Amino acid sequence: MRLLFLGDVVGRSGREALIAELPGLRQRLGAELVVVNGENAAHGFGLAPEMARAFFAAGCDVITLGNHAWDRKEIIPYIETEPRLIRPINYPPGTPGAGHVVVELADGRKALVVNAMGRLFMELLDDPFRAVQAVVQAHPLGRAVQASIIDIHAETTSEKAAMATSFDGLVSLVIGTHTHVPTADHRILPGGTAFQSDAGMCGDYDSVIGMQKAGASLRFWRRLPAEKLAPAEGQATLCGLLVVTDDRTGLATAVAPLRLGGCLAPALPEI
């Protein structure tokens, strides 16, 4: 299976680039499953239902969220009725929505997508490792599903790497989100799981992790809470990862980064 994961969509620039490029990109890369983290799509904070619908219409199969999941209150009734939109699995019981989904491809193959949120330097939710373990054990790779992806939305690379090593050989891909900077550590771990510490963002990199430079920088100079944050609106770079898996085992056989447009060095997967 050919899996395409795209990092955090930030603001209008990121949304427009994703919607414009994804249909052709999906065809060009032969992507059979597309997962997008959309938690910063609405002016940098949260996701609105109409934005989710536009992402699905452009060719996205699953949207994951993170610490800004509830910034747009109108997402709450929508997530209750749209299983393809998932939030971190380690929110407490009773939280709207679900933390995982099983997607069935047109040919009958199935893929599990799990969203989890780290706890280091972030909101102290329930244990993401045990929450992920339960759902991965319930959907064994190579038997119940032909591929599985964990989006670990976390601040530290150590927590993301710990998630990857913990589930190496049990899932197809562990991919980090949240820090908005694409890391150069994409690889296949010894057990066959693909990993990258952070997929990067789909947004304008002439910014401070997607936000306009002036307001974001002043926060560090003056430490005043009133400094306004707004998404940068220049040309976006789409950042993500393409993974090819073995349908028999569900494990990764190839992995390559994606960077398209904007001001970062381009990288188009050729696998």
Are 43 and 14 in contact, with CB atoms under 8 Å apart?
Answer: no
Residue 270 inside a domain? The answer is no
Exposure b/e, 163-184, CB count within 10 A at least 16 = b: bbebbbebbbbbbbbbbbebbe
68 is catalytic: yes
Q: How far apart are CA 220 and CA 117, in angstroms?
A: 25
Phi, psi (degrees; rounded to nearest 5) at 53 = -60, -40
Q: Is residue 265 part of a domain?
A: no
Task: Kindly state whether residue 239 falls inside one of the protein's structural domains.
Answer: yes
Distance CA 210, CA 171 (A): 30
What's the pLDDT at 76? 98
Q: Give residue 228's pLDDT.
A: 78
Residue 212 maps to a domain:
yes
Per the DSSP assignment, residues forming a β-bridge with 231 are: 211
Which pLDDT value is given to residue 224? 72
User: Around Cβ 37, how many Cβ atoms within 10 Å?
Assistant: 27
pLDDT at 223: 74
Range of the domain at 68: 2-260
Count CB-CB contacts under 10 A for residue 7. 31
Residue 226 contacts by C-beta under 8 Å, 6 or more apart in sequence? Answer: none
Active-site position among 68, 153, 178, 180: 68
What pLDDT, on the 0 to 100 scale, is given for residue 226? 64
In a domain, residue 268? The reply is no
**What torsion do the CA atoms of 111, 155, 134, 98 make, to the nearest 10 degrees?**
-60
Averages of pLDDT over runs of 10 residues in the chain (271 residues) are: 98 98 98 98 97 98 98 97 98 97 97 98 95 98 98 98 98 98 98 98 97 89 78 96 97 98 96 91
In sequence order, which ranges of 40-107 are alpha helices (DSSP H)? 49-58, 75-81
pLDDT score for 95: 97
Using CB atoms within 10 Å of the CB of residue 266, give its burial: 0 to 12 exposed, 13 to 18 middle, 19+ buried: exposed
Give residue 215's pLDDT: 86
DSSP of the chain, one letter per residue? -EEEEE-EEBHHHHHHHHHHHHHHHHHHHT-SEEEEE-TBTTTTS---HHHHHHHHHHT-SEEE--TTTTSSTTHHHHHHH-TTB---TTSPTT-SS-SEEEEE-TTS-EEEEEEEE--TTS---S-HHHHHHHHHHHS-BTTTBSEEEEEEE-S-HHHHHHHHHHTBTTBSEEEEESS-S--S--EE-TTS-EEES---EEB-SSSBTTB-HHHHHHHHHH--TT----B--S--BEEEEEEEE-TTT--EEEEEEEEESTTSPPB----
Query: Phi/psi of residue 166, each to 5°?
Result: -65, -30
Please state the domain count of the chain: 1
Q: CATH number for the domain including 50?
A: 3.60.21.10
